Structure 1
Amino acid sequence: MVKSLVTGLCLAVFAAVIIGLSNLLGLDLEHVALLGAALGGVLGLVPHRPAWGKVAGFLAGFLLAWLGFALRAAVLPDSSAGRAVAAFVVVALIAVVAAVSRGRLPLWSGLVGAASIVGAYESVYTNAPSQFLTESPAAATTVLLAVGLGYLATNLLAPQSEPHASAQPDPAIDARRAERGQRGQRDDSSSTTDLDDLVKGAAQ
Structure 2
Amino acid sequence: MVKSLVTGLCLAVFAAVIIGLSNLLGLDLEHVALLGAALGGALGLVPHRPSWGKVVGFLAGFLLAWLGFALRAALLPDSSGGRAVAAFVVVALIAVVAALSRGRLPLWSGLVGAASIVGAYESLYTNAPSQFLTESPAAATTVLLAVGLGFLATNLLAAQTNPSAEPVTARVEGRPAKRANGSDRNTNLDDLVTGAAK
Matched, 1:166 2:171: no
User: Runs of at least 4 residues of structure 1 off by over 3 A?
Assistant: none
For the residues of structure 2 that align with 1:67 and 1:9, how far apart are their CA atoms?
34
Normalised TM-score (structure 1): 0.81
- Identify the residue that residue 89 of structure 1 maps to in structure 2: 89
Considering only aligned residues, what root-mean-square deviation do their CA atoms show, in Å? Answer: 1.2
Alignment of 1:29-48 (within 5 A): 29-48=29-48
Provide Cα deviations, 1:69-112, integer angstroms capped at 9, x if missing partner.
00000000000000000000000000000000000000000000
- Identify the residue that residue 142 of structure 1 maps to in structure 2: 142
Richer in helix (by share): 1
**How far did residue 145 of structure 1 move?**
0.1
Unmatched segments (≥5 aa) in structure 1 = 172-204
160-169 or 48-57: which moved more? 160-169
Unmatched segments (≥5 aa) in structure 2 = 170-176, 186-198
Whichever residue aligns with residue 95 of structure 2, its letter is: A
Residue pair 1:6, 1:158 contacting (<8 A) in 2 also = no
**How far did residue 166 of structure 1 move?**
2.0
Aligned residue pairs total 171
Larger radius of gyration: 1
What is the identity percentage for the equivalent residue pairs of Structure 1 and Structure 2? 89
Give secondary structure in 2 for the equivalent of 1:18.
helix
**How far did residue 32 of structure 1 move?**
0.2
For the residues of structure 1 that align with 2:111 and 2:184, how far apart are their CA atoms?
31
157-166 or 103-112: which moved more? 157-166
**How far did residue 57 of structure 1 move?**
0.0
- Identify the residue that residue 196 of structure 2 maps to in structure 1: none
- Identify the residue that residue 77 of structure 2 maps to in structure 1: 77
Alignment of 1:52-131 (within 5 A): 52-131=52-131
For the residues of structure 1 that align with 2:10 and 2:65, how far apart are their CA atoms?
28
- Identify the residue that residue 201 of structure 1 maps to in structure 2: none
For the residues of structure 1 that align with 2:121 and 2:106, how far apart are their CA atoms?
24
